[in-house]
Structure 1
Amino acid sequence: MKRTKQEWKEINDRIMYGLRPTQFPVAMKFIKTQEEFDAVPDICYCENKASVCKLISMAAYFQETFGLTRDHFSGPYCAINNGCMAIDQDYLDGSILYRKPPPWHHEQEDAKKHIAENVKLLPETPYEGIVCSSLSNCDIEEADVISLQLPTQAAFHLLAGYVENDYEKLYFPFSGESNCADTWMYTMKTGKPGVSLGCRGDRATGALQFGEVRVTMTIDALLKALDGMETVEKNGIGYPYNPVCLYKNQF
């Protein structure tokens, strides 16, 4: 469903007033053709090397729209992990996780197992790139994923809203480095909410702060969660949670 800037702004305000996050939420669009890039107005392309974590952070901070093409990723690991470059043997061998500094695994076999899990989330045909736009001033009409940077309490409240009706227990994978596999790539593949505790990459280049987590959702899932949040609050469970008492009548 296509949405106007005003409609995105209304969703943005529900998030900002309801959850009080430290950064504006960001719409993500995975681009398949150059024509799709050209259709996004007011896009600013990254001219230097960048990660998707950084792209999200820039969109949130500057409240603008940024595009990252295949040629400007910070490296092949980031590009392949985000579905924007063809898988090669070096990636499958887990080289960046095992041989190149800083190594995340002592044994290559563990690195290869790690990569094998990431591969399950990748598209059959690589994307041309990714566009990120702040919901406060969104230039993307149809978003694939919404990325949120939330304090842990806010993440709990949002997800509690998601399960308020049509209940299903949620499970979140932990694959290690990087955030992308457990959040936006997981959401793209499954349609389910993704949560990451915050990998080194997202904290180093994406400005994810101490005590915050990354949450990703489709727009339909996000709206379901926001509606559930409002129902929970009408029932008397306000946010943020008061550390002294649970309900007003306890004062």
Structure 2
Amino acid sequence: MGNEGTRVDVDGHLDWGRLVDDLNRLLRLRTTPIGMKRFATVADMEAVPRVRRPQAIHTMDQIVGQASRNGWTVGVTKDDFVGDQCAAVVGLHPRDDDWLAGERYAGVWYSTPDDAAAHQAAMDLPSFGTHEAVVVSPLASGRLDPPDICLIYATPAQMILFINGLQWTGYRKLEWGCVGESSCADSWGRALATGEPSLSIPCFAERRYGGVMEDELLMAIPPSFLPTVVDGLAALARNGLRYPIAPYGVTTDARAGLGHSYD
């Protein structure tokens, strides 16, 4: 995927520090890019360098926020979560009948039990029964080498350029959905389940408990795509298509601006 040879270390691994530096240089991200990785056993999770274990009960949004806002490496099991919803979205709880019913959401987020159940059925979830723990960590730390997915928070302007970079080579139309509440299923849930780039509008819980800012979107993306994104962003920048996007003026003659890019 892209020119990975320019971002590979002496051991043949992706150079996470350089990838993150490139993303920050090209997009001026204000939130730490992080990785998420599943581990078959708790012992494997606890072997991750400098991993922290929660001392309280949390949402998964908070755990992701501890990595992306505080720069921590944090490992969790299903027992660390306030409810089954968080555990299911990272594959630590089964998609069983009780979970699919979604009774606790009826009358809170959805009008009827049928609406709540329809929401649960619509969520994208990774496999269950393959792992006991999940770790999140800043990508640049290299502690998850490689992570299963990378999580990139960005403003809409940064995010459309990120997507443009992804589409620079091997173009294809990207299509996503929105389940509403629990939209982490649209990002890390879907990316873990499908191995595809997955964009989401972070939900109320992600913003209230995970520290996600009101102008941020979230891209969950397998790490193999990142060199392609960075190469594409660099190519766009050489063409004058870069962040920040300078306003041209809504009443100015557009020909001069467009001519610079397309002539």
TM over 0.5: yes
C-alpha contact 2:149 2:192 (8 A) present in aligned 1: yes
Q: How many residues align?
A: 246
Q: Which residue of 2 aligns with 1:96?
A: 104
Distance 1:131 1:248 in 2: 48
Q: Report sequence identity in percent.
A: 26
C-alpha displacement of 1:128 = 1.3
- For 1:239, the equivalent position in structure 2 comes to 243
Secondary structure of 1:62's counterpart equals coil
Aligned residue for 1:216, secondary structure, equals strand
Match of 1:125 among 129, 137, 140: 129
Q: Which amino acid aligns with 1:177?
A: E
AA aligned to 2:113 is Q
How many Å separate the matches in 1 of 2:14 and 2:235?
A: 24
Q: Quick one: which of 215, 221, 229 aligns to 2:219? A: 215
Indicate the residue corresponding to 1:59 in structure 2. 67
1:72-128 CA distance string (max 9 Å, x none)? 1121121123211233432111112215xxx1110111111111122x523142531
Q: How does 1:93-242 map to 2 (within 5 A)?
A: 93-98=101-106, 103-118=108-123, 120-125=124-129, 127-242=131-246
CA distance in 1, matches of 2:173, 2:39: 31
Please point out which of 14, 18, 25 is paired with 2:26: 18
1:26 shift after superposition: 0.5
Q: Give the unaligned 5+ runs of structure 1.
A: none
RMSD: 2.4
TM-score by length of 1: 0.89
What amino acid sits opposite 2:226 in the alignment?
L
CA 70–47 in structure 1, closer or farther in 2 if over 3 Å, else same: same
Correspondence for 1:43: 51
**Distance (whole Å) between structure 1 residues aligned to residue 43 and residue 66 of structure 2:** 23
Q: Given residue 132 of structure 2, which amino acid in structure 1 is its aligned partner?
A: E
Q: CA deviation at 1:6?
A: 9.1
2:253 alignment partner in structure 1: none
Corresponding residue for 1:34? 42
Unmatched 5+ residue regions in structure 2? Answer: 1-7, 250-256
- Larger gyration radius, structure 1 or structure 2: 2
* 3-state DSSP of counterpart to 1:44: coil
Give runs of ≥4 in structure 1 deviating > 3 Å: 2-6, 245-250
In 2, the alpha carbon distance for the partners of 1:248 and 1:136 equals 39
Name the stretch that deviates more: 50-59 or 40-49.
Answer: 50-59
Matched-pair contact (CA < 8 Å) for 1:97–1:111: yes
Cα distance in 1, alignment partners of residues 197 and 191 from structure 2: 6
- Bigger Cα displacement from structure 2, 204-213 vs 150-159: 204-213
| Deviation, structure 1 residue 163 | 0.7
Q: Is contact 1:179-1:201 (8 Å) kept?
A: no
Separation in 1, partners of 2:196, 2:14: 26
Question: What is the CA–CA distance in structure 2 between the aligned matches of 1:158 and 1:242, rounded to whole Å?
Answer: 17
Which letter does structure 1 place at the counterpart of 2:32? F
